[in-house]
Amino acid sequence: MTGPRRLARLDRAGLLFVLLFCNAFGVGAFGPLLPEIGRTQSLPDWQLGFVASAFGFARMAAAMPVGMLVVRRLAAALMAAPLILVLGLLLLVNARSLPVLLVGRFLLGISHTLTMVGGLTAVLLEGGGSVSTRLNLFEFAGMLGILGGLGTVALVPAAWGWKLALALASAPVVLSLLLLPELRRRFPDAPALVRRAAAPSADMPGRRGDRGVVALMFGTAIVFALTWSSASAFVIPIRGTREFGLTRTGISWLLGMAQAIDLAALIPVGRLADRLGHGLILGAASVMLGWRTGLYRVGVDAAIFLGPLVTGLLGRGGESVFLALASAVALALGARLMTRPPG
């Protein structure tokens, strides 16, 4: 009874952080296991690209429907996330064919979309002067969960196989299941929340002059997501294993480096946004509410879907050119965003 009692003491934001942290373990665990999945299931690169990209495709397809769902049934969306995650994991660890792998991976993407869009919307609905810090704490919890999944996979003996490694790394979802009654009680359905969120907020101005910055940030986020997903979801696991002889542990450490850097930078950036204003640091935050959260996610998740798919289809050589071009565009957009005159 000690565990449930402690969970009951958490505030709404704390529940969201725990939910995302526990659900994200399975997300982090999958990448280092991709080469073993391809080897044991006898999948060529183009089919591995489909398996890797099914997660992003699910997020892209579900972003808008989930965005509309959370403004009406926020608790239901949050409660469905761990249930769908468990179903997807069951399909993956029992998969004997490519279609079952794709469906299992697709369900993991649906679960992650429910957690992220529902959680982000709930944090934004809370309002207050520290919204950027809370948003970054929410992202921090997810990154920490991904890092936990990577670390767990690195520690599981290779002889145990990828299915057992994935199941063990995803075990924290059990804690998410224990949160279901609290989620139902703490997050009522939307009408009262939406009315409160609709009131004007002094710390989220909607100036017309910000639209160009928002559009530029959207474009930058999409291109960065395309580059990141190509490298982390396909190129690093597959080429790292085949061409550099990296084991599951080596791939996990390599992918974990990026997560560790993000974790180190995330909270200071949130505090900076609260001091300098959301229009400067979080221009996109003012439009990330309900269906608008979904609209933002569609673009980013489409890039996450296309990255591993395109690199898998291009094969060796073509993927290098693709990554170089995407990286050049990302750098150009980032430089434009940084050098854009204020106002």
Backbone CA torsion sign across 245, 167, 112, 194: negative
pLDDT interval class at 122 (50, 70, 90): confident
Asked if pLDDT for residue 101 goes beyond 90, the answer is yes
Task: Supply the pTM of this predicted model.
Answer: 0.77
At 191, is the pLDDT very low, low, confident or very high (cuts 50, 70, 90)?
very low
Indicate whether 281 pLDDT > 50. no
Contact 50, 292 (CB under 8 A): no
User: How many whole angstroms separate alpha carbon 343 and alpha carbon 332?
Assistant: 21
Residue 315 has pLDDT above 90, yes or no: no
Report the pLDDT value the prediction gives residue 289, as an integer from 0 to 100.
Answer: 41
Lowest-confidence segment of 27-36, 54-63, 188-197, 220-229 by average pLDDT:
188-197
Q: Which domains does the chain have, with CATH numbers?
A: 10-198+207-339 (1.20.1250.20)
DSSP string, 210-233: GHHHHHHHHHHHHHHHHHHHHIII
Contact 34, 177 (CB under 8 A): no
Q: What is the mean pLDDT of residues 109-135?
A: 80
Model confidence at 56: pLDDT above 70 = yes
Which of 107-116, 187-196, 309-318, 324-333 is modeled with the greatest confidence? Answer: 107-116
Q: How confident is the model at residue 293 (pLDDT cuts 50, 70, 90)?
A: low
Distance CA 20, CA 321 (A): 35
* Residues 98/172, Cβ–Cβ less than 8 Å: no
Burial of residue 321 (CB within 10 Å: 0-12, 13-18, 19+) is: exposed
- The pLDDT of 315-323, averaged and rounded, is 70
User: Out of 6-10, 74-78, 190-194, 338-342, which region has the weakest mean confidence (pLDDT)?
Assistant: 190-194
How many Å apart are CA 239 and CA 255, to the nearest integer?
A: 13
Confidence of residue 127 (pLDDT cuts 50, 70, 90): low
- What is the tens place of the pLDDT at every residue in 179-190? 999 888 888 665
Dihedral over alpha carbons 113, 117, 118, 120 (to 10 degrees): 140
Q: How many CB atoms sit inside 10 A of residue 308's CB?
A: 31
Residue 243: exposed, middle, or buried by beta-carbon count in 10 A (0-12, 13-18, 19+)?
Answer: exposed
pLDDT tens digits along 26-51? 988 998 999 999 999 888 888 888 89
Average predicted confidence (pLDDT) for the chain: 77
Q: Higher model confidence: residue 305 or residue 81?
A: 81
Q: How far apart (Å, rounded) are the C-alpha atoms in residues 62 and 109?
A: 9
Please check the confidence at residue 62 and state whether its pLDDT lies above 80.
Answer: yes
